[in-house]
Amino acid sequence: MVHVRTKTDSETSVRLQWSDVSSGLDDASRNAALCSGTAYSDGMNAVMTNSDFNSGKDWIHVGLSCIAVSGSLYTVSESVQALVVRYMEAQEALNQRAEEAVNKCTSLLKQCASRKQ
């Protein structure tokens, strides 16, 4: 029987590319979370050392925005990972069906060849 490879170079390439995208999204999410911590710290510093409540309020808004961005990036990253898993599972199922079809064709060709002899 013919064996069709289940892991092609293009599949591996797709997996690596999406892994890079997912990793970049995770990094961006963490950086946005760090941004919020820095903004909150700067906001508290403005209020505590300078009694600058307006600046403190502005920094708090920056921190809230950073948290919102972090959450959105995390959500997108999780979605990308789920889609890649579904894509790879579907590709594996298609590869199995292709292998079955090739094996059936090979078997039929062998039968036809033996009949002609």
pLDDT band at 10 (very low <50, low <70, confident <90, very high): low
Residue 29: its pLDDT value, please?
95
Assess whether pLDDT exceeds 60 at residue 1: no
76-98 pLDDT tens trace: 999 998 998 898 899 999 999 99
Average pLDDT for residues 97-106, to the nearest whole number? Answer: 95
pLDDT, the chain, mean:
88
Average pLDDT for residues 16-29, to the nearest whole number? Answer: 87
Q: What does the DSSP assignment read for the chain?
A: -----SS-HHHHHHHHHHHHHHHHHHHHHHHHHHHHHHHHHHHHHHHHHH--HHHHHHHHHHHHHHHHHHHHHHHHHHHHHHHHHHHHHHHHHHHHHHHHHHHHHHHHHHHHHHHH-
CA distance 33 to 67: 6
CA distance 72 to 62: 15
Helix axes 9-50, 53-116, angle to 10 degrees: 170
CA distance 79 to 112: 49
Residue 102: its pLDDT value, please?
95
